[in-house]
A and B are shown apart, each in its own frame.
Chain A
Amino acid sequence: MKTIGTLADRALSWVIPAERASAVTCPYDGYSYWTRCYYNPGCSSGYEKTKRTCYCPPNGGCFWYKYPSRKCC
């Protein structure tokens, strides 16, 4: 059954056009963005925002820094 499936997939690969799609990760080391302002009664304005930063270690693979910085809006 598995062989049939493999053969069918191979036939599909010949017939159907191939494309690439990026499962995009955070773009580059140091890239960051501020979120919109959230309610936070601890701020005098009543709102705070969060900065999310992309971190790309030398051994590869970028990810969002686990401890984002925050400030009052």
Chain B
Amino acid sequence: MTLWLLPGACLLVALLVRLRRTYSIVRVDGDSMAPALADGDRVLARRVPPSRLRRDQIAVVVDRFSGGAGFVIKRIAALPGDRVPEIAKDVIADERVPEGRLVLLGDNPSTSFDSRALGFFAMSDVHAVTVRKVTALTQDEGEG
């Protein structure tokens, strides 16, 4: 019986390490992804290589614009080779999205600060894509 304990424990540790490397739980701050995601929502996000990114996925991206070291969360509107959406042509003159770049838009255009004002995002800055919402914690657990 005890013979199985050590391999079992190792397997569990390996599983936990893999889970922690692959997934993260992301708390959404702000309303620019409403109605899909509201301020305070928590989502399960999975790290994926750039080749696995798809249009309409919600991406968690390194924030290069506000000077912070955090992340922003926006929807992937166009991938390399796609036509640049008309709505994103405020500052983008290109007809097609160049290699290694993305067009990211918030679901709430009246408030969102995204590719409409910031232009292309780098594909290499994508940290993860969301998988699903996570049930809200109670008030005490949710803070911090």
Contacts and interface: CB of A to CB of B under 8 A. Distances in A.
A62 interface: yes
B122 to A, nearest CB: 16
Interface of A: 5-6, 9-10, 12-13, 15-27, 33, 35-36, 50, 52, 61-64, 66
Interface string B29-42: 11111100101001
Interface residues of B, number: 46
Contacts, number: 120
Nearest 10 Cβ contacts at the A-B interface: A23-B30, A21-B73, A21-B71, A35-B90, A25-B111, A9-B135, A23-B33, A23-B32, A24-B113, A63-B111
B70 interface: yes
Nearest to A66: B110
B91 A21 contact: no
A23 B66 contact: no
A27 B60 CA distance: 18
B134 interface: yes
A18 B23 CA distance: 9
Contact of A18 (B27, B92, B114, B117): B27
Contact of A61 (B31, B65, B92, B109): B31
A6 B112 CA distance: 31
A22 B72 CA distance: 4
